[in-house]
Structure 1
Amino acid sequence: MESSRKFFPAIAILLLLLVATEMAPAQARECETASSKFTGMCMIQANCDHLCKTEGFKGGDCRGIRPCCMCMTQC
């Protein structure tokens, strides 16, 4: 009987951790890919964003040392 009292708090904490990890929402990762239609250097963010949306992506940004249009989507 005494040994079961020693393990009860440990079992309770383990169950709480298990429930907490199951209830936590999964975070969606974002992946990037270069736009297939954008040509030249990317200078205006709005143009890149619009073009990526027409290609079916979530949006886009100008990225890099020599800026190119990178489209974003959820992985």
Structure 2
Amino acid sequence: METMRKFFPAITVVLLLVVATEAMAPGQSGRPCETKSLRFEGFCMVEDNCANVCRTEGFVDGRCSTFVRNCICIKPC
């Protein structure tokens, strides 16, 4: 029981740090937010072209959608 009293404050501090870290980064779910590019014209066939246009729009990256071939811009949520 005495050893539990010694470790309790350390365990409490670690748990508080974990909770504080989670509270400081709300909305960071690990998945990217995606939206259709407003400036890309035509069918998206080359991912690099899409990514370059998305970067000019302020996004991190871009990719071509699978079926409709739209340019999809990507940023962290």
SS in 2 for 1:72: strand
The aligned counterpart of 2:71 is: 69
In structure 1, stretches of 5+ residues that fail to align are none
Q: CA deviation at 1:71?
A: 0.7
In structure 2, the partner of 1:17 is 15
1:16-40 per-position Cα deviation (integer Å, ceiling 9, x unaligned): 2223x14578456531110012233
How many residues matched? 71
Indicate the larger mover: 28-37 or 6-15: 6-15
Q: Give the AA of the match of 1:17.
A: L
The match for 1:49 is: 51
Identity of aligned residues (%): 38
Task: Give the alignment's Cα RMSD to 1 decimal.
Answer: 2.9
What SS does the corresponding residue of 1:73 show, helix, strand or coil?
Answer: strand
**Could you tell me how far apart the structure 1 residues matched to 2:3 and 2:45 are?**
65
Where does structure 1 differ by over 6 angstroms across 4 or more consecutive aligned residues?
Answer: none
Q: Deviations over 1:52-72 (max 9, x none)?
A: 112222221112322210111
Greater radius of gyration (CA): 1
Runs of 5+ consecutive residues of structure 2 not aligned to the other structure: none
